[in-house]
Structure 1
């Protein structure tokens, strides 16, 4: 798919199967195709959350580029931009990724009740025509009211919390009324900070 912006025309591949990221990129006015990276995220470990999400986003980009190596993007008139991203939740100094099971998700969400957590998310953008690459990270903090057990069980029964970092689904209709305050932006919490993404796209184009 092709996007026309004031200065150039280019194609976008979003290297993510995340519905919130797809929603945010569409809200930014972009059309795109989707590819999943399929990497072993647990096989990449870093103690620093910012370093971890940056390393994972770059690894996702490398994995997708490997799948696309049979395509000569340099011959295209229009550049193709690949966007990959990663996110973790940091709670009491501990990095949380996707819950491994329902019980872990339950414990994660119970911990947020009346407390707070931070999201650290990365965006990595590659121009497949020129090879230019740029990355960055963004952070947000979420403060919660008390989260009733009934809400937690309903979220777990639906299953979506098992697919997101820290089991944190702040935009969910059951959770959003329980957020006391947010330091940062909602799109950052959802996994694709708009301002950072736009800046990185412009830098590689």
Structure 2
């Protein structure tokens, strides 16, 4: 069976190792390869979370593209190759939260969400490697939580599920889901890749 990628006549590279992003892009029906950007995300600072996630997606794309060296091979390809990069942060009480730097910080993050809420801001950037055209933007969602017992928080920390995700928040994890009250906005935005933005930007760059 032909995938969307082959039906529409382009190849896709996902510039992320995120399991959630891989799953979302696969759910959308795309075949894709994986490349990751080795960048110091902490070196990119912006006051507004929307500006930060867009800037980080751009830096990731630039870092991956620089590894190709000779870009003429993409220009001569019959099918364009699209590079998709993304970034996500959590905003809690007006403060930007990226990946926790320690178990203690992860515990502090999750305790803050208990009986409260956090906003998730996520960017998507699609770059056409054949033409150089790129389109990007951001989306936002809010997650409201029930009270999360300390025992559950301890289990989350011990599993290590919170260290490698923005704001220590992994919505889809079985330990987290029972304590999610409401999501205002798109769940895929919370998980790391807005389907709506991805589809729109793919159309825009083709």
State the TM bucket, normalised to the shorter chain.
over 0.9
Which residue is 2:9 aligned to? Answer: 9
CA offsets, 1:135-190, max 9 Å, x none? 01000000000001111111111112100000001111111111111100111100
CA distance in 1: counterparts of 2:158 and 2:152, whole angstroms = 10
- Give the TM-score normalised by the residue count of structure 1: 0.97
Partners in 2 of 1:51 and 1:34 — Cα distance? 25
| CA–CA separation in structure 2 for the residues paired with 1:34 and 1:51 | 25
User: For residue 41 of structure 1, what is the aligned residue in structure 2?
Assistant: 41
- What is the root-mean-square deviation in Å for CA atoms of aligned residues? 1.2
Answering whether residue 80 of structure 2 is matched by residue 90 of structure 1, we say no
- d(CA) in 2 for partners of 1:175 and 1:158? 12
| SS of alignment partner, residue 130 of structure 1 | coil
- DSSP 3-state at the match of 2:181: strand
TM-superposed deviation, 1:69? 2.2
1-side partners of 2:120 and 2:69: how far apart? Answer: 33
Name the counterpart of 1:193: 194
Within 1, Cα distance between the matches of 2:70 and 2:132?
15
What is the aligned partner in structure 2 of residue 137 from structure 1?
Answer: 138
Aligned length: 203
Distance 2:107 2:161 in 1: 12
Structure 2 residue matching 1:146: 3-state secondary structure:
coil
> Structure 1 residue 113: deviation in Å?
0.3
- 2:30 and 2:102 map into 1 onto residues whose CA distance is 34
Q: Which residue of 2 aligns with 1:23?
A: 23
3-state SS, counterpart of residue 189 of structure 1: helix
Gaps of 5+ in 2: none
Give 3-state SS (helix, strand or coil) of 1:22's partner.
Answer: helix
Q: Which region of structure 1 is more displaced relative to structure 2, 61-70 or 110-119?
A: 61-70
Partner of 2:104: 103
TM-superposed deviation, 1:68: 1.2
Q: Structure 1, unaligned stretches of length 5 or more?
A: none
Cα offset, 1:4, TM superposition: 2.2
1:203 aligned partner:
204
Structure 1's consecutive aligned runs of 4 or more residues displaced over 4 angstroms after TM superposition are: none
